[in-house]
Amino acid sequence: MTSRTRISYSLREITDRLGGKVDGDAAVTVRQVATLERATPDTIAFLANERYLPQLKSTRAGAVIVGASVRAATPIPRIVCANPYAYFAQVSALFNPALAAQPGVHASAVVDSSARVAGDAEVGPCAVVERAAVVGAGSVIGAGCFIGDGAVIGSGTRLYPNVTIYRECVIGNRVILHSGVVIGADGFGIAMNEGRWIKVPQIGRVVVGDDVEIGANTTVDRGALDDTVIEDGVKLDNQIQVAHNVRIGAHTAIAACAGIAGSATVGRYCRIGGASGIAGHLKIADNVEISTFTLITKSIGSAGTYTGAYPFERNSEWRRNAVQLKHLDELAQRVRAIEKKPAQPKRRKR
């Protein structure tokens, strides 16, 4: 629970704002959201998965959010809607709004005279805003952030402490960048010449669309020639690596520790599981779901779910199976050789 001033809403007020239908007493008032297990009479909980019906029957919540199929499963006052989890997210935002910017530039911040910072934006302690950079209306630049030469930050965007935006990168409106995010560092461009690596200058930018959220310590490299692009509505978890010239389509969500190699293109509305990897220069179609720990080594041309993770097992069993896997090619060649042999005529029984 945050230290924000507590506010309360009746179920009628909530549905007037967000839609849905109240079953039971619409005058019931709640002050916060909670899980079914830990709810108290002044909170509202939700049921999105019917396997948690036993918790619904025992919850102490003052109200619940449910789908139509379980509206009769409890006598507790309830809001009935099509998507209980999404509705819960909206209710939670209602009770826990983002803190508004506190307009002004902290005395310890360094803002170049050529930078343009909106009058209602907030620039926190020890932040740096370099030459010709732009900070849009209502945006928050947290303590210790760095905004490089010519970078543009849109309106209503929040940079938590210690975010780094390299030169000329563009961040859209209503973007959230969590602590440790680095936007626009050089991509891994090197060329071998006479036994030594030569750096390939990375002259593109990173362009981030509107309503994007990027988790803590995630890095998005600038393009080698063209831009690296994160389209509108993309959600990136913590500790993700996005390499140079990658393009991530609108409203795609990627879980923690995934890695996307250079010049890969990920479609719109994709879901990529944690610790997955996508090799460079591949194209992933729209509406693709990639399971956790899956390595993608060739392009995916159609929507669907793709899985490559090998199930875990006891180490002793894994070792035996690993030995067999080493001989798969030899076994396949033997099978092919057998298949090529002409069939022997069957002997007649005497």
Catalytic residue among 106, 244, 281, 327: 244
Question: 316-333: b or e for each residue (b if 16 or more CB lie within 10 Å)?
Answer: eeeeeeeeeeeeeeeeee
Q: What is the pLDDT of residue 3?
A: 46
Q: What is the pLDDT of residue 58?
A: 95
Percent of the chain with pLDDT over 70: 96
CA distance 261 to 241: 8
CA distance 173 to 157: 6
Asked if the model's pLDDT at residue 239 lies above 60, the reply is yes
CATH of 104-306, one of 2.60.40.770, 2.160.10.10, 3.40.710.10, 3.40.50.300: 2.160.10.10
What mean pLDDT, rounded, does the chain reach?
A: 95
Asked if the model's pLDDT at residue 2 lies above 60, the reply is no
CA distance 6 to 170: 36
Predicted confidence (pLDDT) per residue in 159-183, tens digit: 999 999 999 999 999 999 999 999 9
CATH superfamily of 9-95: MurE/MurF, N-terminal domain (3.40.1390.10)
Residue 79 structure tokens: 């809001």
Predicted confidence (pLDDT) per residue in 309-348, tens digit: 888 899 999 899 889 888 889 989 999 988 887 776 766 6
244 is catalytic: yes
CA distance 279 to 281: 7
**Domain extent listing, the chain:** 9-95, 104-306, 315-342
Confidence bin at 37 (pLDDT 50/70/90): very high
Q: What is the pLDDT of residue 1?
A: 39
Type of residue at 133: A
Quote the DSSP letter at residue 50. G
Average pLDDT for 37-66: 96
What is the DSSP code string of 42-84? TEEEE--SGGGHHHHHH---SEEEE-GGGTTS--S-EEE-S-H
pTM (2 decimals)?
0.90
Predicted confidence (pLDDT) per residue in 61-81, tens digit: 999 999 999 999 999 999 999
DSSP H or E segment with residue 288: strand 288-290
- Strand 32-33 and strand 277-278: the pairing is unpaired
Asked if the model's pLDDT at residue 230 lies above 90, the reply is yes
Is the model more confident about 203 or about 324? 203
Predicted confidence (pLDDT) per residue in 80-127, tens digit: 999 999 999 999 999 999 889 999 999 999 999 999 999 999 999 999
CA distance 148 to 331: 58
CA distance 272 to 9: 36
Rg (CA), the chain: 27
Average pLDDT for 281-302: 98
What is the DSSP code string of 229-255? EE-TT-EE-SS-EE-TT-EE-TT-EE-
